[in-house]
Amino acid sequence: MRYLLCLLVCLLAGATQAAPANKAYMSIIIDDLGQSSERDTRTLALPGPVTMAVMPDTPHATAFARQAHKAGKTVILHMPMDPATGPYAWHPEVALTELARRLDAALAKVPYAAGINNHMGSRMTAQRQPMAWLMGELQQRHLFFVDSRTSAATVAAAEAQRIGLANVSRDVFLDDVRTTEAITAQLQEGVALARRQGSAVLIGHPYPQTLAVLEREMPRLRSQGIELITLQQMIGERSNQAMPAHGRHGRYSNR
């Protein structure tokens, strides 16, 4: 009996030691790609599952989307929305039929897109009717949505959540201030947030300062307890739930 009791204690102790610590996940998106072959190539060389958000109205959009897909990276359409301008941009006063045409044209320019996120869009993502239409359209196309959250008034993620569309929202912008010191601080804010709430989604741009920080710091993330995952994995991890900064009890606040 004493032997069996000791064996049980040892097994329980071993199970406790083997139990994994709480995971802290991070996904990184780089926006505004397709403009510069040099910056695109440097972004593509970043280690790990970095998502490539390609703008449709750029000279290298199609070629780079194909290159990134071939390299095994997740490609998404970085969709221009008001106050962005250009032939693909969505604006509140544009008819739904024209918005649909622009979406089709933009997706044709960015092959292999697994989803989309908004470029700018502070006015457009606050428009409930077109956002509801967009989420339904993405669901039919089996594409996911990333709310860049360029405005606190966005209803985009809430509309995606309402119909059960696969979606996720940005937590931290890396490079609103374009210095290596500020970008490093924002990356560490992302690390702290991932540890606190279990995951963090970061968005940056192919600025030389941003790329320099990521080239230096990304190999160190694992030693800080951070696991880089794809956007698809992040969507699965969050199960379409809003983070505390974006809503309450997992529901987006702008419902």
- The 10s digit of each residue's pLDDT in 42-81 is 999 999 999 999 999 999 999 999 999 999 999 999 999 9
Q: Give the Cα separation of 57 and 34 in Å (integer).
A: 8
Q: What's the pLDDT at 21?
A: 56
Q: What's the pLDDT at 7?
A: 37
What does pLDDT average to over the chain? 92
Q: What's the pLDDT at 254?
A: 78
Q: What's the pLDDT at 212?
A: 98
Beta strands 75-81 and 247-248, pairing class: unpaired
* Mean pLDDT for the stretch of residues 27-37: 98
* Beta strands per DSSP E along the chain: 24-33, 51-54, 75-81, 113-120, 144-147, 167-169, 172-173, 199-204, 226-228, 247-248, 251-252
Per-residue pLDDT reduced to its tens digit, 99-144: 999 999 999 999 999 999 999 999 999 999 999 999 999 999 999 9
250: helix, strand or coil = coil
Q: Is residue 148's pLDDT more than 60?
A: yes
Residue 230, C-beta contacts closer than 8 angstroms, at least 6 positions apart: 27, 49, 51, 74
One of 3.30.450.40, 3.20.20.370, 3.20.20.80, 2.70.170.10 is the CATH number of 22-243, namely: 3.20.20.370
253, 215 contact by CB (below 8 A)? no
Q: What's the pLDDT at 85?
A: 94
